[in-house]
Amino acid sequence: MKRKLWTVLLCTVIFTLMLSACSGSGSKEQVTSDETKKDEKVTIKFHTHGNEASYNWKSTIAGFEEANPNIKVDLVILSEKGDTQEALKKLDLAAASGEQLDVLMFSDPASYAQRVSMGMVAPIDELIEEEGYKVSEEYKVDTQIDGKYYALPGKFNPWYVLINKDHLTAAGLDVPSDWTWDEYTEYAKAMTKDGHYGTYFHGPQGGGWMEFMKLALASEADNTEFTTADGKSNLENPLFKKTLELRVKMEKEDKSAVPYTDILSQKLHYRNQFFGQDASSILIGSWMNTELGGTDQFPLEFDVAVAPYPKNEKGDQGGYTPVTTDFMSVAGTSKHKEEAYKFIRWYTTEGQIVQGKNIPSWSKVSESDLTGIIDKILSGTKNPEKVDKESLVNVLTNAKSSKIISPVSYQSEIYKVINEEYEKLIYGEQDVDQTIKASQERVQEIIDSNK
């Protein structure tokens, strides 16, 4: 009896030890498997319109891979010329043929919003929440579409006013650090002398450069387009009327703006107008930073100051302006969404400083880093000492973008109509009220036909 009992006990002990050993072995195997997973090198594909000359990709990507040794970035430049339309066509083709897509870069809100609606882009709200930050506090550009984030913003190119400082001084005026559209018109009038105009507006032209038809609208935090967020016409907005009135006043009454007929008939360009001193000021995007100190083609023979985009009323919060950026997104079909997100988050923060080609949309960039980037950009021009750097830093630091209104698919049709009606206004064929009425009716027809 005792012998049987000992036999049973011995078998039980052996069986327990065997189970324990197996369990321990499985646990070790699981740990080893997890560690192997962590050590696996993941390759993500990055499709971009940006070429090496404009974006300094080699050293930028090397910086990311050094900080993230388990992620390799395979760069796919979609256009060596930096042609955004060519790049979009190739990207759409890659998506249609099922190629690996992980990180996508878009150059404008329209192409970004369109690819979001096509399902090409993944929302990144959960990844943002996991990291625990607010996009509105981290970045100067709002990238939300229908309340969701599908991108983080890269570069920050706000519009500003470039002023011939010599003309400014001759008119007895100081560099404006905060001003309204009324003051803008006064400055232009004061700087207008024999031989040059006070300002130059480069649009509208053939349905393009429509920023010049949204002057007062773009000074607001929201509702800055010709259509509202719910697809209705926004031409009843009094700020659209204000823009038309301002354009007519400056050209016809004050005679401080280069005539629209001259712009079209002589095929004038803003660079020639400003650097040739035919216009004392131009309203333009800060892609001009790389040319402010003059180039071989457009040498600088005067001092340049930079003023912010004007606001509508003195009591308004200033700084709102049209902004161009690169929308950095994670592809909807990506099998490496976390790694792709890690890259766009790094690129839109520290990566912008490593790249050193543009002013970042990242709000947390230090003043010394910002100044360093500006110095580097200006050093590539012929006469950086002629640029009022203090005014440039002030404008770039305080500028901010308005809320994105997703472009409608028929946007180009609306642009064409407004361009045509504006030409009737400026040629004296109709007044401001008639222009608004005709524009509203024609735009409403377009909206109705697309419902």
Judge if 244 and 329 occupy the same domain.
Answer: no
Residues 301, 337 within the same domain: no
Q: What's the pLDDT at 38?
A: 57
- Other Cβ atoms less than 10 A from the Cβ of 66: the count is 9
Residues 147 and 72 in one domain: yes
Q: Give the model's pLDDT for residue 314.
A: 97
- The verdict on 108 and 167 lying in the same domain is no
Domain-located, residue 5 = no
Same domain? 413 vs 440:
yes
Question: What's 116's domain CATH number?
Answer: 3.40.190.10
**Residue where one domain finishes, among candidates 365, 396, 428:** 365
Q: What is the pLDDT of residue 282?
A: 99
Distance CA(58)–CA(36), nearest Å, equals 29
Confidence of residue 334 (pLDDT cuts 50, 70, 90): very high
Residues 301 and 264 in one domain: yes
Specify whether 276 is located in the same domain as 205.
Answer: yes
Query: Could you read off the pLDDT of 343-401 as tens digits, one per residue?
Result: 999 999 999 999 988 999 999 998 889 899 999 999 999 999 999 999 999 999 999 99
Closest alpha carbon to 87 in 44, 59, 55, 65: 55
Its domain, for residue 102, covers: 42-156+325-365
Give a yes or no: residue 62 inside a domain.
yes
> Which residues sit opposite 48 in a β-bridge?
77
DSSP code at position 59 = H
**Average of per-residue pLDDT values in the chain:** 91
Look at residue 338 and tell me whether its pLDDT is greater than 70.
yes
pLDDT for 60 beyond 90: yes
Are 326 and 155 contacting, i.e. CB atoms less than 8 angstroms apart?
yes
**Is the predicted pLDDT of residue 35 greater than 90, yes or no?**
no
pLDDT tens readout for residues 267-287: 999 999 999 999 999 999 999
- The verdict on residue 6 lying in a domain is no
Asked whether residue 216 is assigned to any structural domain, the reply reads: yes
Peptide bond into 204 cis (omega under 30): yes
pLDDT score recorded for residue 7: 46
Q: Does 190 fall in a domain?
A: yes
Is residue 320's pLDDT more than 60? Answer: yes
Number of compact structural domains in the chain? 2
Residue located via tokens 């700020």: 239
The pLDDT score that the predictor gives to residue 239 is 99
291 and 192: one domain? yes
411 vs 387, residue with greater confidence: 387
| CA 218 to the chain's CA centroid | 14
State whether 307 and 395 are in the same domain. Answer: yes
Positions of E strands within 68-189: 71-77, 103-106, 121-122, 144-145, 148-149, 152-153, 157-164
**Run of H or E residues at 62:** helix 57-67
Query: Is 193 within the bounds of a domain?
Result: yes
Separation of alpha carbons 285 and 291, rounded Å: 12
Task: Report the distance separating Cα 392 and Cα 270, nearest Å.
Answer: 19
Q: Name 149's bridge partners.
A: 144
Q: Is residue 192 domain-shared with residue 329, that is, in the same domain?
A: no
- Out of 3-17, 132-146, 199-213, 348-362, least confident range: 3-17
Question: How many CB atoms sit inside 10 A of residue 159's CB?
Answer: 20
Tell me how far apart the alpha carbons of residues 328 and 347 are, in angstroms, rounded to a whole number. Answer: 9
How far from the centroid of its chain's Cα atoms is residue 219's Cα? 16
Q: Is residue 26 part of a domain?
A: no
Query: Residue by residue, what is the 3-state secondary structure of 180-242?
Result: EHHHHHHHHHHHCECCEECEECCCCECCECHHHHCCCHHHCCCCCCCECCCCCECCCCHHHHH
Q: What is the pLDDT of residue 39?
A: 67
Q: Which residues pair with 155 in a beta bridge?
A: 360
Residue 199 shares a structural domain with residue 317: yes
Determine, yes or no, domain membership for 165.
yes
- pLDDT at residue 72 tops 70: yes
Q: What are phi and psi of 51, to 5 degrees?
A: -90, 175
**329 and 316 inside one domain:** no
Helix, strand, coil content of the chain in percent (nearest 5): 50, 15, 35
Q: For residue 26, is pLDDT > 80?
A: no
65: pLDDT confidence band, cut at 50, 70 and 90? very high
Position 25 confidence tier, pLDDT thresholds 50, 70, 90: very low
Instruction: Evaluate if residue 20 carries a pLDDT over 70.
Output: no
